[in-house]
Amino acid sequence: MNERTVMKQLIYAILGVAVIGGGIALSAVRQKSPGVPPVPARTESAPSPATENNPPVQTAVATPVPAQTVPADTGDSKPAVPAMASSTGASARTVDSAVKQAIDSLLSGQLTHEQRRDMLKKLVESGKIDEAISELQQRVTDDPHNAEYQTALGQAYLEEGVSLQDDFPGKAILVMQAVKSFDAALDVDPANWEARFTRAAIMSHYPAEANKGQEVVDQFTQLINQQEAQPPQAQFAKTYMLLGDQYQKLSQNDYALATWQAGAQLFPNDKTLRKRLAGE
């Protein structure tokens, strides 16, 4: 695959991922399945989301070690003991308070996918996204095996890419950096929902000639299996929506309908799934 084709794929991805939160209007005609639609096909690597659970493997996330305080000068002839640098190196850096607060929130695990995106968009709008990326890059350097750092960095790259106007090469570079960060996060923690969902959502916007369709199906199906082993969260409905969309792109309309129906049963108040089932 030549460089121009790769660039085209990434441009499609960055343009498409800007609307992940609200869904995408599809031009294909949705077909109603006769009778009971079949359950999405199972593969060894991606079990059916509607038939069995596949509990995620939980991986411990390294906890930063707090910095030690430099002893005060008591006038003694012995020199003071220098401060020990923390595992994140944060004690040796000055970070804007708004940036630090945003990063702390991103790493808290308390935000939904949309809240994380909104927070990063505010950093973009305030002109502080580069500082946030720089800080997250340093944290990743200090602790490369921290999946949360890698995930937050990937999402920051992505939101900066979305914000660029006509700089398509810049967009492509940022998408590649984001995907690389998500891959690193998943290497450490395969059950990281944010990393797998966002990476799969990017890939779902690749053009057909990229031949990523089945890989996208496998990734979203793996996420659904993971979700079934956890308490329901409203953001989990997006996985069903995008998996159904991907089946439709592959002209597997029965599977698409079955996936949207399965999602709507779990999340009956989700407006996007209701629209998919209504053919809107």
Position 35 confidence tier, pLDDT thresholds 50, 70, 90: very low
pLDDT score for 95: 84
pLDDT of residue 22: 41
Of 60-69, 232-241, 261-270, which range is least confident? 60-69
pLDDT for the residue numbered 261: 97
**pLDDT at 280 (0 to 100):** 72
Confidence grade of residue 16 (pLDDT, cut at 50, 70, 90): low
Structure token pair of residue 130: 């580069």
Examine the pLDDT at 208 and tell me if it is beyond 90. no
pTM given for the model: 0.69
Q: What is the mean pLDDT of residues 260-278?
A: 95
The residue ranking higher by pLDDT, 174 or 46, is 174
The answer, yes or no, to whether residue 116 has pLDDT greater than 70, is yes
User: b/e for 162-190, b at 16 or more Cβ within 10 A?
Assistant: bbeeeeeeebbbbbbbbbebbebbbebbb
Alpha-carbon distance of 181 to 25, in angstroms, equals: 28
pLDDT tens digits for 131-161? Answer: 999 999 999 999 999 999 999 999 999 999 9
> pLDDT at residue 252 above 60?
yes
Cα-only R_g, the chain? 22
Q: Across residues 198-206, what is the average pLDDT?
A: 94
- CA–CA distance from 146 to each of 8, 64, 87, 149, 201 (Å)? 31, 9, 11, 6, 22
Inform me whether the pLDDT recorded for 185 exceeds 90. Answer: yes
- Report d(CA 145, CA 179) in Å as an integer: 16
Distance in angstroms (rounded) separating the CA atoms of residues 141 and 133: 12
Residue range 107-118: average pLDDT? 93
Distance from C-alpha of 226 to C-alpha of 56, rounded to nearest angstrom = 5
Cβ-Cβ contacts under 8 Å for 85 (sequence gap 6 or more): 67, 91, 92
Which is nearest to 50 in space by CA: 221, 232, 215? 221
How many residues appear in the chain?
A: 280
* CATH of range 3-35+93-277; options 3.40.710.10, 3.30.70.260, 2.30.30.830, 1.25.40.10: 1.25.40.10
Distance CA 139, CA 177 (A): 16
pLDDT at 33: 35
Report the first-to-last Cα separation within the chain, whole angstroms.
Answer: 36
Q: What is the mean pLDDT of residues 215-223?
A: 97
Mean pLDDT for 55-77 is 43
Helix count and strand count (H, E) for the chain: 11, 0
Query: Which tops the pLDDT comparison, 96 or 45?
Result: 96
| Amino acid of residue 127 | G
Q: Which residue has the higher pLDDT, 161 or 28?
A: 161
pLDDT of 38 above 50: no
Residue reference for tokens 């984001």: 178
Strongest mean pLDDT among 16-20, 57-61, 270-274 = 270-274
